[in-house]
Amino acid sequence: MKLKTALISATIFAACMFTSASAKQLVVGFSQIGSESGWRAAETTLTKQEAKKRGIDLKFADAQQKQENQIKAIRSFIAQGVDAILLAPVVETGWDAVLKEAKEAKIPVILLDRTVNGPKDLYLTAVTSDLVHEGKVAGDWLVKTVGDKKCNIVELQGTTGSSPAIARKKGFEEAVKGHDNLKIVRSQTGDFTRAKGKEVMESFLKAENGGKNICALYAHNDDMAVGAIQAIKEAGLKPGKDILTVSIDSVPDLFKAMAAGEANATVELTPNMAGPAFDALDAYLKTKKEPQKWIQTESKLYTQADDPQKVYEQKKDLGY
Ligand code: GZL
């Protein structure tokens, strides 16, 4: 009888241990760049929603677009002994040392929406779109839209040194190469913000005969395009007609402008990078099998032919 009781209590103990071990709440540190754009705000909202849905304890750190703040946050997560770290790296370089510290602490790091230079074994995987492809889709749309008409383009670049700014510039240039009627006449960073996008566009307009020499604006994100649209209107020109616009993210306010005829095209970037990231993390923690180094999210072109008002209604409450 004693043996039977002992066996039953051992089984119950083992079951409790297993349940508590497998049900241990995951603690994940998230080093977010900041809140520089509507898209970034949506990514933060969705990441917090995804963590809550999955019962993950998310430690959130907003770096106000400063790399040193991101590095400090990562070190703090390591000191706290988190189970994993999400990092949206503001720029491509300068991460090796701190990522090595995370690796030595056996804490997997997953990159969100941007990538880093340096050894790929310093992070588990990167969840991003094909940033070069986005620039190419934008360029291909403009090539098709202007035909053989002469078109001087001004470009608002994203944050200097960030992977989207580098890649989206590359993709757009690939698309317009060989079309001699299209020329990028001005190109400068607007740091992915509306305010800076407006300010730089004002300088472009002044430098290009009040904007009369400009046929199109290519902005690396919609927020800079929305700022630039304001500047074009204040210069007495019609955005979307006098100056065509193409940008990337597909945030609600860009669709509002498109519905008003003030913007022409946008390439969609999903703000839900955290869903695929947490799926990859779950699988890795269960199997210890490394995922592929890149989990690619889709990109889609929207133009005025895609019922922008309806798309605005669909997107306006998603946390942008
Ligand atoms: C791109 C992402 C960019 C968005 C901007 O993957 O990193 O950062 O396009 C945001 O809106 O600032």
Ligand 1 contact, 83 CB (< 6 A): no
182 C-alpha vs ligand 1 centroid, how far in Å?
26
Half-sphere exposure (Cβ direction) of 144: Cα atoms closer than 13 Å: 10
155 C-alpha vs ligand 1 centroid, how far in Å?
16
pLDDT bucket at 19, cuts 50 / 70 / 90: very low
Q: Do residues 281 and 110 lie in contact, with contact meaning Cβ atoms separated by under 8 Å? A: yes
Per-residue pLDDT of 290-316, as tens digits, reads: 999 999 999 999 999 999 999 999 999
Token pair for 54: 């999955």
What is the rounded distance in angstroms from the CA atom of residue 294 to the CA atom of residue 116?
A: 12
The CATH superfamily label for domain 131-269+302-318 reads: Response regulator (3.40.50.2300)
Helix (H, G, I), strand (E, B) or coil at 229: helix
275 C-alpha vs ligand 1 centroid, how far in Å?
17
Nearest CA to 142 out of 167, 166, 118, 174 is that of 174
Nearest CA to 138 out of 185, 184, 92, 71 is that of 184
Ligand 1 contact, 221 CB (< 6 A): yes
Q: Residue 83: pLDDT above 70? A: yes
Q: Residue 9: pLDDT above 70? A: no
Ligand 1 contact, 65 CB (< 6 A): no
User: Which amino acid, one-letter code, is at 216?
Assistant: A
Q: What is the mean pLDDT of residues 258-271?
A: 98
310 C-alpha vs ligand 1 centroid, how far in Å?
23
Distances (CA, A) of 171 to 13, 84, 97: 59, 32, 30
Ligand 1 contact, 39 CB (< 6 A): yes
Which pLDDT score is estimated for 71? 98
Q: Which of 35, 37, 67 to mutate to test the pocket of ligand 1 (most atoms within 8 A of CB)?
A: 37
Q: Which of 249, 253, 299, 320 to mutate to test the pocket of ligand 1 (most atoms within 8 A of CB)?
A: 249
The CATH class for the domain spanning 25-128+271-289 reads alpha beta
Using CA positions, which residue lies closest to atom 6 of ligand 1?
A: 113
Which pLDDT score is estimated for 319? 87
Which pLDDT score is estimated for 94? 98
Q: Which residues contact 307 (CB under 8 A, 6 or more apart)?
A: none
114 C-alpha vs ligand 1 centroid, how far in Å?
8
Q: What is the pTM of this model?
A: 0.92
Ligand 1 contact, 248 CB (< 6 A): yes
Ligand 1 contact, 134 CB (< 6 A): no
Residue ranges, comma separated, of all CATH 3.40.50.2300 domains in the chain are: 25-128+271-289, 131-269+302-318
Helix (H, G, I), strand (E, B) or coil at 264: coil
Which pLDDT score is estimated for 14? 52
Q: Residue 226: pLDDT above 60? A: yes
Q: Residue 16: pLDDT above 70? A: no
What is the rounded distance in angstroms from the CA atom of residue 312 to the CA atom of residue 318?
A: 10
Token pair for 216: 């199109």
What is the rounded distance in angstroms from the CA atom of residue 45 to the CA atom of residue 31?
A: 14
| Mean pLDDT for all residues in the chain | 94
Ligand 1 contact, 191 CB (< 6 A): no
What is the rounded distance in angstroms from the CA atom of residue 75 to the CA atom of residue 78?
A: 5
pLDDT bucket at 74, cuts 50 / 70 / 90: very high
pLDDT bucket at 269, cuts 50 / 70 / 90: very high
Q: Which atom of ligand 1 is nearest to the CA of 192?
A: 12
Ligand 1 contact, 114 CB (< 6 A): yes
